[in-house]
Structure 1
Amino acid sequence: MQPDILGPPYEQQVIELDPDDEGPVVATLVRRRADRPAGRAVLYLHGFGDYFFQTHLADHFIHDGWDFYALDLRKYGRSLLPHQTPNFCRDISEYFPELDAAARIIRRDGNETLLVNGHSTGGLIAAIWSDARAGQDVALDGLFLNSPFFDLNLPWLLRRPLAAAVCRLNARTPYRVVQTGLSSVYGQSVHDSYQGEWNFDLDWKPLAGFPVRAGWLNAIRQAQRRLRHGLRITVPVLLACSTRSFRSRRWHDAATLADAVLDVEHMVRWAPRLGRHVTLVRIDGGLHDLTLSGKPARDQLFSELDRWLRAYFTSEPTGPDPGQPVAAERPENRGIPQTD
């Protein structure tokens, strides 16, 4: 390990990966050890156009004895090399080698329990990887999904037939830009130079994200389709999202109390397709990254997270019976359509 850009007590390890068509490839594992290790660790996976900077999230886990790790995936943040196209991939499985390597490093550090915390695209990646690695030596023990990217935030006609047509037409040109950027509303709601309270590197996390390319869009669509058909994740899953979405591309103060990136009802709809042990929590006033929400929503998230962790990762659970699936708390979320 070497010093990380966040400074002590954070350190990082560069994971060398096989080169691809653009050249050398690396991923970066950030680590912060607990003062009183308990043999358990969390691995954080960021979203699209993102990287790890949420030190207050690490603080929360460290306080309870969890070692904290975060992985900047290939072509993101700390791992983005000058010759690379930011955030590009052709298939979600391209991220499996760094996830496998990170899991093995975490286990070698003495952690018997591994919780993976995925945000947005990181949540989709974590779910697909968890399903693929069940029963293997790199398997995880729990999954915490923060506003996972389970569907495109578009009307049905655009997210199904039109998106499929775009991918087919650009199958031979995977690097072609199909959308120049996203709305900057969410970025404005979190960055401290606008309406938010957080400081982060705008080169690694631009307010409007990076261009969306055909190959990446196809990779996401294929992963989402696999999830909708049903995964068999056997470990406990906590899925948390906001109670509402913000849909305008123009700024309004309502964006500070809602998910301004994805449709939260998609997350609710597809949550049961993850596996049998799924807990759904909806956070009033939550932003897309719930950990960057205003303090009341942030406190609610951490309270719900702690309750779930006590239920599944202590010898004497204080919450629901960890041997049984936990139903969504809101009655209106129980009627889940079986097809789309």
Structure 2
Amino acid sequence: MSSIQDMKEHIIRESDAWPDYLASTRAGEWSQDLLGESFECQSLDFGVDDEGPAVATLVRYRPGGIRNKLGRNARGIVLSVHGWSDYFYNQELAFFWHSQGYHFYAVDLRRHGRSLRSEHQLPGYVDDLAVFDEDLDAALSVIQSEHPALPIVAQGHSTGGLILSLWIARKSPGIAALVLNSPWLEFQGTAFLRIPMHGLMEAITRTNPRRKLIGPEFDHYWQSLSAQAHGEWDVHRLWRPRLAFPNTAGWLKAIFDGHAHVAKGMDLRLPILVMTSDKTHIGTSYSPDMQHCDSVLDVQQTRLRAGKLGSFVTLCEVPGAMHDVFTSAEPARATAYRDLALWLRLVGKIRK
């Protein structure tokens, strides 16, 4: 099996040449993904909803060559879910999971990334996070058809962590373990701020759920992430934009509904790893400190809410990590991968 360092040599960095919108693949067919060699994608088409074409996109990492095939040595499968205003681009993350013996898949949820279409006026919009259950159910069905009987680990970043947690609570899809990378489990400022804002969003949503919320816009997280600024990552101009997708009343109410569910306690019956930075630095403009802190969420609030997810929760603090711990600069990124690998081994022994 190749090392992560060997596979890094094949990282593609050319998203400036990518189109804004992709065409859907034929039903059930894999096609070459824009990430290049060994990455393929497949559209999951759900017809049309109130926002236009309803399509998600499943991406898989399938390296060629005998030495890269997992075969009977596969330990499981991972399904990765991105955050808000985001998509799957982190090839290194796929390399890591493969090096650990897992088949790697990622989903771009409807109206995100590869699943965006020109007809979509509100990228990322839903007024109920349960809408994404259809995307995740379909992705799971494809994965299980390709690798029956292997355990599945779900991995979610930020809003994706909230979406996955709620999906598992609602659907009991048989996920073996859950890895949450800086999950958005509570609104900034704690429930004391969320509760009155939740009521306000409910009132607005009753008349116009698609109403855009006017407020200040910041690009500091993009600056800490993008190779065009201070980060290391080649991110698409539309799929991971400099300014986040517009917030709407219906979408924010859906987020608050999810936070309220977490706050009540979810009783998830599976091992959960919650990874965060060791500190927070939230500001209105970019600062070099943001390369080594979570500049989006309050990590202490995240860690506090993590205990509401279930009874088997492991907290992992990664010194010097950013909001997405797997896009952090070294040595934080290496520490995150080391700790995740250790947790996977420990959980594997416990479950035997």
TM-score (norm 1): 0.88
AA matched with 2:180 = L
What is the CA-CA distance between 1:39 and the residue it aligns to? 5.3
AA matched with 1:240 = M
Q: 1:108, 1:155 → 2: CA distance?
A: 41
Pair 1:239-2:274 in alignment = yes
Q: 1:285, 1:160 → 2: CA distance?
A: 31
What is the CA-CA distance between 1:166 and the residue it aligns to? 3.5
Q: Which residue of 2 aligns with 1:311?
A: 346
AA matched with 1:98 = D
Q: Which residue of 2 aligns with 1:41?
A: 77
Pair 1:267-2:305 in alignment = no
Work out whether residues 153 and 175 of structure 2, in 8 Å CA contact, stay in contact via their aligned partners in 1. yes
| Residue among 15, 28, 40 paired with 2:57 | 28
| Residue among 228, 235, 238 paired with 1:193 | 228
Work out whether residues 257 and 287 of structure 1, in 8 Å CA contact, stay in contact via their aligned partners in 2. yes
AA matched with 1:103 = L
Q: CA RMSD in A?
A: 1.6
CA displacement, residues 212-245 of structure 1 (integer Å, 9 cap, x when unaligned): 0011000000011011101121111000001111
Pair 1:87-2:124 in alignment = yes
- Give aligned-pair identity as a percent: 34
Q: CA 1:78/1:254 → structure 2, altered by over 3 Å: closer, same or farther? A: same
Work out whether residues 232 and 274 of structure 1, in 8 Å CA contact, stay in contact via their aligned partners in 2. yes
Q: 2:236, 2:170 → 1: CA distance?
A: 33
Q: How does 1:96-107 map to 2 (within 5 A)?
A: 96-107=133-144
What is the CA-CA distance between 1:259 and the residue it aligns to? 0.5
CA displacement, residues 46-81 of structure 1 (integer Å, 9 cap, x when unaligned): 000000000000010111221110000000000011
Q: Which residue of 2 aligns with 1:66?
A: 102
Pair 1:7-2:36 in alignment = yes
Q: 1:165, 1:226 → 2: CA distance?
A: 18
| Residue among 151, 154, 159 paired with 1:116 | 154
Work out whether residues 119 and 147 of structure 1, in 8 Å CA contact, stay in contact via their aligned partners in 2. yes
CA displacement, residues 220-273 of structure 1 (integer Å, 9 cap, x when unaligned): 000110111011211110000011111211221111110011111121111111
What is the CA-CA distance between 1:322 and the residue it aligns to? 5.2
Work out whether residues 201 and 250 of structure 2, in 8 Å CA contact, stay in contact via their aligned partners in 1. no
Work out whether residues 45 and 117 of structure 1, in 8 Å CA contact, stay in contact via their aligned partners in 2. yes
What is the CA-CA distance between 1:22 and the residue it aligns to? 2.3
Q: How many residues align?
A: 314
Work out whether residues 180 and 212 of structure 1, in 8 Å CA contact, stay in contact via their aligned partners in 2. no
CA displacement, residues 262-317 of structure 1 (integer Å, 9 cap, x when unaligned): 1111211111111111100111111001001011111111111011100122xxx3
CA displacement, residues 66-123 of structure 1 (integer Å, 9 cap, x when unaligned): 1110000000000011111200001010000110111111111115110010000000
SS in 1 for 2:206: coil
Q: 2:92, 2:247 → 1: CA distance?
A: 29
Q: CA 1:222/1:155 → structure 2, altered by over 3 Å: closer, same or farther? A: closer
AA matched with 1:10 = F
Work out whether residues 76 and 87 of structure 1, in 8 Å CA contact, stay in contact via their aligned partners in 2. yes
TM-score (norm 2): 0.86
Q: 1:8, 1:142 → 2: CA distance?
A: 29
Q: CA 1:252/1:271 → structure 2, altered by over 3 Å: closer, same or farther? A: same
SS in 2 for 1:56: helix
Work out whether residues 91 and 219 of structure 1, in 8 Å CA contact, stay in contact via their aligned partners in 2. yes
